[in-house]
Structure 1
Amino acid sequence: MKRTVITVDGNGMLSIPSNLQDLWMSEGELVDMLHVTAMKLHAVIRSIYKDGLLTVSEVQQKQETSNGIWQTLY
């Protein structure tokens, strides 16, 4: 699966890819970009699902890494 990510440079400037359909980020990438803990990220994601703002099927998928480990992408 081809995917793109949002990046932040040293000056805090966001680089958002033009093809948003391929925009999928791992937990680690989101934690690094947002400067939050994994626990905080999970709490926010659960809250979004609970409030019905987004559904799991819309914004979450699994991907197998090259070493056979599955990661969740958002």
Structure 2
Amino acid sequence: MKRTVITVDGNGELSIPSNLQDLWMSEGELVDMLHVTATKLHAMIRSIYKDGLLTASEVQQKQETSNGIWQTLY
């Protein structure tokens, strides 16, 4: 699976890929980009799902890493 991520440069400028269909980020990438803890990220995601803004089936998938560990992508 090809995937792209949002990046932030040293000046705080976002670089968002043009192909949003391939935009999937891991928990670690989101934590780094948003400067929050994993606990805070999980709370934000749960709140988004609870409020019905997005559903997990729309914005969440599992991917197996090269060493056989599964990670959740958002």
TM bin (shorter chain): over 0.9
SS at match of 1:62: strand
Deviation at 1:22, TM superposition (A): 0.2
TM-score, normalising length: structure 2:
0.99
- Divergent runs of 4+, >2 A: none
Unmatched runs of 5 consecutive residues or more in structure 2: none
Identity across aligned pairs (percent)? 95
Q: Distance in 1 between matches of 2:29 and 2:39?
A: 14
How many residues of Structure 1 are paired with residues of Structure 2 in the alignment? Answer: 74
Q: What is the RMSD of the two structures over their aligned residues, measured on CA atoms?
A: 0.3
TM-score, normalising length: structure 1:
0.99
SS at match of 2:72: strand
Unmatched runs of 5 consecutive residues or more in structure 1: none
